[in-house]
Amino acid sequence: MPKIQPTSARRDATPAEFKAMAHPLRLRILRLCLHEALTNKELADQLGQEPATVLHHVRTLCATGFLEPEPVRSGRRGALEKPYRATGKSWILSIADPDDRVAGVVATIDALRSEIVDAGPDAIRENSRLGLRLDDDEVTELTERINELVQSYAARAPTSGGELYGMYISLHRLARPRR
């Protein structure tokens, strides 16, 4: 799985790739398939969605290289199942258009919201939100430090028996106060 790339090293997403990443349900499918391969039925069950709806999204993610099928396996009752695993491709892409970036972040926040609600009230381990006043050099320093921290954890091998966690970080400019 590729490491998360610093923004400066990422390539721009194609329109099809952006469209695939700009849907909260697709982002949730990618998260679910990150650490284990899941079938369409398993995904539908975990997401509380109809299998046909999930299959549409799985096909879109496969067509754009975000998911790939693993070898067919036998299910519990002997039926053949096709599991899918996330490729990590989203970690090496950026979105050039500012309006598209906003749409992508909103989709990510929507997916995050659903993940947190589904996980329940005991799922939150840490949550911070603050306002800062930074100059350009400080923004660069903070961004680099965050990226170094994220890269160091992304490079680690998964801990055997460890819990699955998600993390979301956004450094964004606030709207100027209206006067």
Q: What is the pLDDT of residues 95-147, one digit of tens each?
A: 888 889 899 999 999 999 999 999 998 999 888 889 999 999 999 999 999 98
Is the pLDDT confidence value at 6 over 80? no
Residue 98 maps to a domain: yes
Residue 26 maps to a domain: yes
Residue 58 maps to a domain: yes
Residue 150 maps to a domain: no
Q: How does pLDDT run across 27-74, given as a tens digit for each residue?
A: 999 999 998 999 999 999 999 999 999 999 999 999 999 999 999 998
* Mean pLDDT confidence for 78-103: 89
Is the pLDDT confidence value at 2 over 60? no
* Cβ–Cβ under 8 Å, residues 165 and 154: no
What's the pLDDT band for 4 if we cut at 50, 70, 90?
Answer: low
* DSSP 8-state symbol, 159: P
Residue 51 maps to a domain: yes
What's the pLDDT band for 24 if we cut at 50, 70, 90?
Answer: very high
Residue 110 maps to a domain: yes
Residue 136 maps to a domain: no
Place of tokens 């490729």: 87
Q: Which domain holds residue 32?
A: 7-123
Q: What pLDDT, on a 0 to 100 scale, did the predictor assign at position 69?
A: 96
Residue 157 maps to a domain: no
Q: What is the CATH number of the domain that holds 92?
A: 1.10.10.10
Count: domains in the chain: 1
Q: What type of residue sits at position 68?
A: E
Distance of alpha carbon 77 from alpha carbon 75, whole angstroms:
5
Percent of the chain whose predicted confidence (pLDDT) is above 90 = 59
Distance of alpha carbon 112 from alpha carbon 119, whole angstroms:
10
Q: What pLDDT, on a 0 to 100 scale, did the predictor assign at position 1?
A: 47
Q: What pLDDT, on a 0 to 100 scale, did the predictor assign at position 151?
A: 85
